[in-house]
Amino acid sequence: MAYSLDHLLVIGISSRALFDLEAEDEIFREQGLDAFRSHQLRNENKVLNPGAGFALVKALLKLNALVPEQRMVEVVVMSRNSSETSLRIFNSIEHYGLDISRAALTGGAPLSPYLKAFNVSLFLSLHEDDVQAAINSGVASAMLYPMPPNAADMEQIRIAFDGDAVIFSDESERIYQQHGVEAFEQHERENAKKPLPEGPFARLLVALSYLQNQFKTPDGRAFPIRTALVTARSSPAHERVIRTLRAWNIAIDETFFMGGVNKSEVLAAFKPHMFFDDQHGHCIKASDFVPTGRVPIRQTQQKQQEQQ
């Protein structure tokens, strides 16, 4: 009987995001494919250190152990490596006891065409072109920053999101960027009761909310997943966010309307396994404290053609 990924939260993660392969990537860039291949074959029994997305993957996979009769999460390693050079990756997966059995190894070809074939809900990578292509195809995706030196390893799965251009569309963000804060606030006042359009991570948030509901305790607490919205919005732009989440029937556990205040201290206190934001400035500051992924803006088909 064929195995279906249709009703699972599927995380696609590149080998460089799962493990620390920066030295190997440098060999590839500076010395070429043959040198990289030789290095990987010589070191295929040497375990790789965890990478920027390791903690999130490890945490999410624990959900399967909590309810053995109902698998909830699947992780697919998606790599531009060939099968010949990938044995070190599989050996490292086995060493850390990660419940990962599926992989897409494209031998240098782009990964994005295979995301929907594996029903990927979230794609994590250090390769900007793959992340942008994934976002353009409608898959939630983020380019990860290097791990902070003292990242917390929480038992509870914790994920934090920015709002505009991540959970919600970039419609309001564009107004702010083009016309300033007063125009943005006026637009949000006028549309306060109109739900915001979905952004690239809206469906992922819905999936996480569904998983939370599977673990709710009698007092209403959702363990072992906790979510946070950390947004630069403040009053009067808060109302539309609250009404939108209500319309989507989603309850985020913790919400912070920062009003332009640096997000880093709040994130350091929340201790997420991953924080997703669309702005490099926010991401670079946050990445000193917590694992961070940048969500690129989806490009129109016309813009994609112009860049080709």
Instruction: Quickly tell me which residue has 């040198």 as its tokens.
Output: 35
Q: Which two tokens stand for residue 131?
A: 């992340």
Identify which of 142, 120, 147 has the alpha carbon closest to the alpha carbon of residue 131: 142
Strand partners, 164: 168
3-state secondary structure of 278: coil
Q: How far, in Å, CA of 47 to CA of 145, rounded?
A: 22
CA-atom Rg of the chain in angstroms:
20
Q: How far, in Å, CA of 27 to CA of 38, rounded?
A: 10
Sign of CA dihedral 203, 208, 214, 220: negative
Instruction: Quickly tell me which residue has 């939108």 as its tokens.
Output: 244
Catalytic residue among 20, 130, 162, 277: 162
**Is residue 162 annotated as part of the catalytic site, yes or no?**
yes
**Which positions are catalytic?**
162
